[in-house]
């Protein structure tokens, strides 16, 4: 079985991959995440997931065998990508825009082994209840939204805003586990490795 490298610094992605019993090593994957002109949100997240996998592969020694998994998540409202908030005002503005509405969360995954790269984009729809501005300010003060796309974390304190979800919960967190397991299987990397070791 080929070793797997996760090209991500996200603790949430590490936790999710561990949850399904996949052994991996984390590698750095710094890339420019600026959207291109006229690039759709779906094309954007897929390009970044592939770019992270490629950047992770470049970190490895040429002689090192293995697969690299890259992923990227975007919160999309009215066709516009909501990135990580710049400051408190930006965070509150995002949450006020999301308040009482549905939005889309796109997560792309890509697996690269040096010869080929396969990728998927998973779409989920999240519905927020109405959020009073004071609550958005209190949420910012918690520190949680600072490094989160769309200025919220569904797996943390931000869960109280979520009135409904259609799609993959794990994709909204940052790694769609069903699709990730399927893609890794194409490269001969099974899930539940810890069970087979017992």
CB 20 within 8 A of CB 173: no
Residues 6+ apart with CB under 8 A from 4: 22, 23, 24, 25, 66, 67, 68, 69, 184, 189
Phi, psi (degrees; rounded to nearest 5) at 88: -60, -45
96: number of Cβ within 10 Å = 14
Q: Which of 32, 37, 65, 72 is catalytic?
A: 72
Phi, psi (degrees; rounded to nearest 5) at 89: -60, -40
What is the C-alpha to C-alpha distance for residues 130 and 100, in angstroms, rounded to an integer?
4
Length of the chain equals 198
72 is catalytic: yes
Whose CA is closest to 74, among 32, 33, 110, 27?
33
Residue numbers annotated as active site: 72
């Amino acid at each position: 079985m080929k070793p797997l490298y996760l090209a991500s610094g996200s603790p949430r992605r590490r936790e999710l991959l561990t949850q399904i019993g996949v052994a991996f090593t984390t590698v750095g994957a710094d890339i420019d995440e600026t959207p291109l002109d006229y690039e759709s949100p779906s094309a954007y997240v897929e390009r970044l997931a592939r770019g992270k996998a490629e950047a992770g592969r470049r970190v490895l020694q040429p002689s090192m065998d293995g697969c690299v998994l890259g992923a990227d998540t975007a919160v999309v409202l009215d066709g516009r990508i909501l990135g990580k908030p710049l400051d408190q005002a930006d965070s509150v503005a995002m949450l006020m825009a999301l308040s009482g509405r549905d939005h889309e969360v796109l997560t792309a995954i890509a697996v690269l082994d040096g010869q080929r790269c396969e990728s998927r984009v998973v779409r989920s729809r999240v519905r927020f209840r109405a959020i009073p501005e004071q609550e958005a300010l209190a949420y910012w003060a918690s520190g949680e939204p600072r490094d989160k796309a769309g200025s919220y974390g569904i797996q943390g304190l931000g869960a109280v805003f979520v009135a409904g979800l259609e799609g993959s919960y794990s994709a909204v967190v940052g790694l769609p586990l069903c699709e990730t397991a399927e893609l890794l299987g194409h490269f001969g990397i099974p899930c539940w490795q810890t069970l087979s070791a017992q």
